[in-house]
């Protein structure tokens, strides 16, 4: 059976972002005879920054083009009667009395329609109907998931499927400003399968929409095996964090916690990887409050360079202070090197940061003093206790977050 996969992303393999797709695509390319990747929200003249397998063809759709088409289409959805095909009783109840939610639904439908039309045009010459089976795979359980459903319904191949992963912003409605995500019932009814990246996410969907619980299945992401990082030095506590500096990541809480350790007697080194609008403010804070320690705010870094850093430099502890997560790939990466983590107990984080075994959990809302206490407590662990944590990290990564194993299982599961 000759099979084809159409993968809908935001920007991958163009520009920046979605780095966590990079390791999955080569595995998908082995499992399918042909792969079409459509980046649905790129810059106007994007640079393809990642290479793709030989059997993959790449298309891109500029976000500006989608925006112009969206503005034209949105008016057709303003009368709520035009949403009837999508908005069942549950959807109507969710948006009743809320102009913001009605507006969100209108925007969502218009954007999905604009993206669908653009993707359909890109795929016109790809002869999808000649394949024995075609899977339409949306990386996000958002507008492109609706696009995948519509593409499947229009495809004349012998066998077709529409599937989607689900992560964080596309899964946890309570983290959205409106407390609402559009078309959950419609998408779950019409899509073939949804794969949240954590058991926490799967449980949320199954509890919220029990009629579709059999369509929901956890599919962990994963990372490559680069071996273990060097054994940490006993004379200095090496701390690493890695994320885009944005309000949801709250890196400033880590900086504030470290500032409380000035008189602790600990010799500290903090290295942060990742840029963002908050980088300059963080640098200014570090200059004023963290001059007593070794502080390196390294800015953006390529994933391959980050992996090289872990291979070459000893790291004692990885810290994540985010207020919302799916299941952080950054922690998977650290865990694969045997690096324990201190992280907020949000999303599926507790599925990899196991209290006292692979690290320590913070409540979502915490004071910097609480994190400072955890850092001090970790520093006081004996070498044997730290080594046990490192061994446990490597073990849980091998069992649950080994990328090649996870992606191979996933590629088999989404075959048409």
pLDDT tens track for 262-294: 999 999 999 999 998 899 999 999 999 999 999
- Average of per-residue pLDDT across 165-186: 92
Give the pLDDT band (50/70/90) at residue 67.
Answer: confident
Answer yes or no: same fold for 3-222+404-413 and 237-400. Answer: yes
- Is 220 within 8 Å of 349 (Cβ atoms)? no
Fold topology of 3-222+404-413:
Rossmann fold (3.40.50)
- Average of per-residue pLDDT across 348-370: 96
Who has greater pLDDT, 9 or 72? 9
The pair of three-digit structure tokens given for residue 378, joined into one six-digit string: 């970790």
Q: How far apart are CA 342 and CA 340, in angstroms?
A: 7
CATH number of 237-400: 3.40.50.2000
- Average of per-residue pLDDT across 348-357: 96
Helices 63-77 and 99-122, interaxial angle, to 10°? 130
Residue 249 has pLDDT above 90, yes or no: yes
Residue 223 has pLDDT above 80, yes or no: yes
pLDDT tens track for 70-123: 777 766 665 554 566 787 888 888 888 888 998 899 889 989 999 999 999 999
List all residues 6 or more positions away from 167 whose beta carbon is below 8 Å from its beta carbon.
140, 141, 196, 197, 201, 326
Domain boundaries, the chain: 3-222+404-413, 237-400
């Amino acid at each position: 059976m000759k099979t084809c996969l159409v993968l809908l992303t935001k920007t991958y393999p163009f520009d920046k972002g979605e780095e966590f797709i990079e390791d999955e695509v080569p595995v998908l390319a082995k499992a399918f005879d042909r792969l079409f990747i459509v980046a649905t929200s790129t810059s106007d003249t994007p640079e393809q920054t990642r290479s793709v397998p030989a059997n993959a063809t790449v298309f891109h759709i500029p976000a500006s083009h989608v925006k112009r088409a969206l503005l034209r289409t949105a008016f057709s959805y303003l009368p709520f009667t035009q949403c009837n095909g999508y908005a069942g009783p549950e959807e109507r109840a969710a948006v009743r009395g809320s102009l913001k939610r009605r507006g969100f639904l209108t925007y969502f439908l218009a954007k999905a329609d604009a993206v669908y039309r653009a993707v359909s045009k890109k795929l016109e010459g790809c002869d999808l109907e000649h394949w024995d089976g075609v899977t339409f795979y949306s990386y996000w359980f958002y507008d492109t998931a609706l696009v995948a459903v519509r593409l499947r319904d229009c495809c004349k191949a012998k066998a077709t499927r529409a599937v989607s992963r689900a992560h964080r912003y596309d899964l946890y409605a309570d983290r959205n400003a409106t407390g609402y995500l559009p078309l959950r019932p419609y998408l779950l009814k019409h899509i073939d399968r949804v794969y949240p990246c954590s058991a926490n996410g799967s449980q949320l969907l199954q509890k919220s929409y029990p009629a579709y619980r059999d369509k929901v299945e956890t599919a962990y992401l994963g990372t490559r095996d680069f071996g273990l990082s060097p054994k940490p030095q006993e004379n200095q506590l090496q701390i690493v964090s890695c994320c885009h500096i944005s309000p949801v990541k709250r890196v400033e809480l880590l900086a504030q916690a470290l500032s409380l350790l000035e008189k602790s007697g600990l010799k500290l080194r903090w290295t942060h990887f990742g840029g963002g609008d908050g980088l300059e403010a963080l640098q200014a804070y570090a200059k004023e409050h963290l001059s007593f320690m070794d502080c390196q705010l390294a800015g953006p870094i390529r994933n391959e360079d980050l992996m090289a850093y872990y291979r070459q430099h000893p790291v004692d502890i990885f810290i994540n202070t985010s207020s919302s997560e799916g299941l952080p790939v950054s922690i998977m990466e650290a865990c694969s090197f045997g690096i324990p983590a201190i992280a907020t107990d949000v999303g599926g984080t507790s599925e990899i940061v196991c209290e006292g075994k692979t690290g320590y959990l913070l409540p979502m809302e915490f004071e910097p003093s609480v994190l400072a206490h955890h850092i001090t407590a970790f520093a006081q662990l004996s070498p044997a206790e730290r080594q046990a944590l490192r061994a446990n990290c490597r073990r849980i990564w091998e069992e649950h977050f080994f990328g090649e194993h996870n992606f191979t299982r996933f590629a088999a599961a989404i075959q048409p």
